[in-house]
Amino acid sequence: MKEPIEELIDRYQQDYYLSGNIHISKEGKTLFSKSYGQASIQLGVPNNKDTKFHIASVTKMFIAAATLKLYEQGLIRVPMLTHLRLSIRRSRSIIY
């Protein structure tokens, strides 16, 4: 019997090609882990848990979004954001 997450991913793959690894854990316990797609389409090599992915700078967007989300929820303090907010208030100008 498939896990609910696996059923969700299978439905997604009916319309889109997924290539990568999905690993879900909670409190150090693995809840789901599976590899999808090809590490090398030309050679027909499937992805596995040890596949290296070239992610370049894409992770910066995710880290920034996750940091801001945690900040909004009050789960973390980000001194630089506080500093920028104070600077904006003092100068009454917008910082880009």
pLDDT in tens, 47-73: 999 998 877 777 788 888 888 888 889
Strands 38-40 and 45-46, by their bridges, are: antiparallel
How many residues are given for the chain?
Answer: 96
Query: What are the structure tokens assigned to 10, written together?
Result: 């299978």
Question: Helices marked H in the chain — which ranges?
Answer: 4-15, 58-72, 79-91
Compute mean pLDDT per 10 residues along the chain, 96 residues long, and list them. 83 86 89 90 91 78 84 79 54 49
Count helices and strands in the chain by DSSP H and E runs: 3, 4
**Neighbouring residues of 11: CB distance < 8 A, sequence distance ≥ 6:** none
Hey, which residues does 35 pair with through a beta bridge? Answer: 21
**Is pTM, for the whole model, over 0.85?**
no
> b vs e for 40-50, b when ≥16 Cβ sit within 10 Å of the residue's Cβ?
eeeeeeebeee
CA–CA separation, 42 and 17 (whole Å) = 16
Please tell me the predicted confidence (pLDDT) of residue 29.
92
